Structure 1
Amino acid sequence: MYEEITYEDLLQQKLDQIDADIDKREGSIVYNALAGNSVEAQLLYIALDSILNETFAETATRENLIKRAAERGLTPEPATRARLKGIFNIDVPIGSRFSLDDMNYEVIERISQGEFVLECETFGNEGNLYLGPLVPIDYIDGLTSAELTEVLIPGEDEEETEALRRRYFNSFNSQAFGGNRQDYKDKVNSLQGVGGVKVYRAWNGGGTVKLVVINSLFQKPSQTLIDTLQKTIDPIGEQGEGVGLAPMDHVVTVFGVDESTINIASNITYQDGWSWPEVEPYVLETIDSYFASLNETWAEQDALVVRISQIETRLLNIPGIIDIADTTLNGEQENIVLHPDAIPIRGVVNG
């Protein structure tokens, strides 16, 4: 707001107020005194500009945005720890610890013989990144194999500043109250491992509510995550009793998004010296990236649309490809509109 107020302008305004018969040349006593004062005045305007920006949620930095959001009862979603499935040749003790690369994990729950839930000791998304052989930190008699095989409940980083800012402004657009649609969205999205949710009323008769969720990696959630959410929101055996987050008389059932396999075939023209084996890894990575970007928008869309034009445009940016035509999705040269509760996953890709 005060960018146009410069040191030079402030100094000139002050000099203009001094009588003409007084020496105002650079280096004079008057000039030096007013120059120092003008520097202080400019710093004051800079501080005022900063204060003004910090006053409004649209321009506030994280520290003051958190204070502003607190007035709406909102706080940044905290970082959480990933929970993963471990497979062992024996039952290992609860509390035993293992390492994989730079990560350490603690056994917290038994699933079945030789299968356990491990919690990463590091907060955030980093705990979702590693699967493979585990090394015990302390000796366990009889242990010959240990492996992380699956992310059950993804760990999440602390909510980013811009995500908090969007949530703050969204809180004015739709009021959450006592089991209305926004109330369900706010409560479910705040739970660990949830990346989005769709809410359906009376899906199985009056008083029933269907929640379809995608995990925070924007993938199909594990059954462990579904069961955890069900228990938190409306526990089986006590549904409709208001024991969980759901209001009384709301019978809530939690489902995960479905996966729709998309097989892709294209007629690709290659640069000299290139062929399918050379470009295939880049093609698969590009398609996965496109599907991931679609999945991130799933909760806000009526239904996702996989578009041939988007695939071809992205593939044309891959080194070694100079043209692409006749692309088909599941054998047809047309876009695919998915079921509202489905996300795309890559199937067979031929070039």
Structure 2
Amino acid sequence: MYESQTYELILHRMLDRVPTEVDKREGSIIYDALAPAALELSIAYASLDINLNLGSGQTATGSYLDLRTMDYGITRREATKAVHEGIFLNTVGSLFDIPIGSRFASGSVTLMVSSRLSLGHFELTAEMPGSEANLTTNTLLPIDYITNLGTAQLGGLLVPGTDIESDDKLRERYLQTVRTPSTSGNKADYRKWALEVNGIGDAAVLPLWNGPGTVKVILLDANKLPASSTLVDDVQAYIAPTNAGEGKAPIGATVNVVSAVGISINVTAALIMDGTRTAGEIINDFKASLTAYLKSIAYAIDPSVKYVRVGSLLLDTDGVKDYSGLLVNGGSSNVTVASGSVAVLGKVSLS
């Protein structure tokens, strides 16, 4: 708004107000007196422009965005800790119980046994919050000595760890709240309640899915993958633990919380490589870009996987000169993803 108020323009206006009979040339007394003031005014106008942007939810950043969203009861989400399932065997290969509080490491990530699920199966909580603890490796190394422990492995990610919420994500939640306000148990309410549970990345809401008063909530985790049973239970307990008026849901609503159905996306193609990279490097990069694409379309207005888009991702991968025989789920057409489902990375076979 104030970008036109430059130093030169302001100085010119100020000099125009000085009588013509006064020497106004650069280096004159009046010029040297007005120039510093014009510079300070141009800086003030620039600050005004910045402050206008910091006062709007669409352009504010950092702590200024926090101040804006807090007016609507929306606060930036702190980083959360990942929760994994651990499987423990003794020296003879049998399932084996270990002490609560035992600590294990996988690379630079340390985890602590927090609760028992069943014989030899325990929950492990990362000691530090953040997505770095969303491990894919299986092996765990004990930090504390445990008698008769044979092997320790991760069984699966129960609750994804998340980093502190970015400005873009916080702004998205703020605009969603302002533009689609929740009122007395409408669809926006149920989605908002689901997203208030740590580890949830998105939720689809199906009203009247099984008759009057019934609501189905279909969950994705923070990685935009089907939610674990632990997350499903957490959301059910938060929204409607007994379907008898407890929790967030209004009295009379019967709420069924479930995980989204994962639709595996399998890709096959023959590559023509340019010789700058190995096949393994190309495959890893393509998997990463395909995973990011599938994440971006999860619960989108059109969540179908575009055949052409997969081909462009493959062609854009460093080291790929061309390809042939591209098949996505065995065909050469788009893959339909039904409501309540999400596309997830399947097998990638690049020869």
Please report the TM-score for the alignment, with normalisation by the length of structure 1: 0.87
Q: Tell me which of 245, 248, 270 is aligned to 1:245.
A: 248
Note the alpha carbon deviations across 1:71-115, whole angstroms, 9 max, x for none.
222111222111111222332222232232222222111011121
| Shift, 1:181, TM fit | 0.5
* 1:343 aligned residue: 342
Change (3 A) 1:13 1:130: same
Q: CA deviation at 1:197?
A: 1.0
Distance change in 2, residues 1:157/1:269 (3 Å) = closer
Unaligned 5+ segments in structure 1 are none
Residue equivalent to 1:33: 33
Write the distance in 1 (CA, Å) between the matches of 2:124 and 2:167. Answer: 30
SS in 1 for 2:3: coil
> Aligned AA for 2:112?
E
The answer to whether structure 1 residue 188 and structure 2 residue 178 are counterparts is no
One-letter code aligned to 2:173: R
Aligned to 2:20: 20
* Equivalent residue for 1:259, pick from 258, 262, 279: 262
Once residues 14 and 266 of structure 2 are traced to their aligned partners in structure 1, the CA distance between those partners, rounded to angstroms, is 74
Residues 1:100 and 1:5: Cα distance change in structure 2 (over 3 Å): same
Give 2:272's aligned residue.
Answer: 270
Which residue matches 1:75?
A: 75
The 3-state SS of whatever aligns with 2:8 is helix
Q: Please name the residue that 2:93 is paired with.
A: none
Alignment deviations for residues 234-277 of structure 1 (CA, whole Å, 9 cap, x no partner): 22xx2x212222222211112111122344344x4625779xx9
CA contact (8 A) 2:287 2:348 kept: no
1:139 aligns with 2:145: yes
Q: Secondary structure of 2:127's match?
A: strand
| Preserved CA contact (<8 Å) 2:289 2:313 | no
The worse-fitting range, judged by mean Cα deviation, of 285-294 and 89-98 is 285-294
Partner Cα separation in structure 1 for residue 324 and residue 136 of structure 2: 37
1:2 match = 2
Alignment TM-score, normalising by the size of structure 2: 0.87
Map 1:53-132 to 2 at 5 A: 53-89=53-89, 90-129=96-135, 131-132=137-138
Equivalent position amino acid for 1:134 in 2 = L
Q: Structure 2 stretches of 5 or more lacking a match?
A: 90-95
Matched residue, 2:310: 311
Please tell me whether the aligned partners of residues 304 and 336 of structure 2 are also in contact (alpha carbons under 8 angstroms): yes
CA distance 1:98–1:57, change in 2 (3 Å): same
Q: SS in structure 2 opposite 1:311?
A: helix
Letter in 1 for 2:60: A
By how many angstroms is 1:283 displaced? 4.1
Deviation at 1:69, TM superposition (A): 1.2
CA contact (8 A) 1:279 1:318 kept: no
CA contact (8 A) 2:223 2:295 kept: no
Q: d(CA) in 1 for partners of 2:34 and 2:103?
A: 68
Deviation at 1:154, TM superposition (A): 0.4
Q: Is the CA contact (8 Å cut-off) linking 1:11 and 1:35 kept in structure 2?
A: yes
Say which SS state the counterpart of residue 199 (structure 1) adopts.
strand
Equivalent residue number for residue 160 of structure 1: 166
1:232 maps to which residue?
A: 238
In 2, distance between residues paired with 1:115 and 1:29? 84
**1:56 deviation in Å?**
1.8
Find the partner of 1:177 among 175, 180, 183.
183
In structure 2, do the counterparts of structure 1 residues 295 and 50 end up closer, same or farther at CA, with 3 Å as the change threshold?
closer
Deviations 1:96-148 (A, max 9, x none): 32232222222111011121111112112112135333333333333343233
Count of aligned residue pairs for this structure pair: 344
**What amino acid does structure 1 have at the position aligned with 2:21?**
D
The answer on whether the counterparts of 1:77 and 1:159 sit within 8 Å (CA) in structure 2 is yes
Aligned amino acid, residue 304 of structure 2: V
Separation (CA, whole Å) in 2 of partners of 1:136 and 1:214: 32
Compared with structure 1, are the counterparts of its residues 271 and 141 closer, same or farther at alpha carbon in structure 2 (3 Å cutoff)?
closer
Between stretches 226-235 and 107-116, larger displacement belongs to 226-235
Q: Which one-letter code corresponds to 2:347 in the other structure?
A: G
Once the two structures are superposed, the pairs formed by residues 315-326 of structure 1 within 5 Å of their partners are: 315-319=314-318, 321-326=320-325
TM-aligned CA deviation for residue 153 of structure 1:
0.4
Listed one character per residue, the Cα deviations across residues 282-335 of structure 1 (whole Å, up to 9, x for unaligned) are: 246425532542333322336x32222122222223455444344333433332
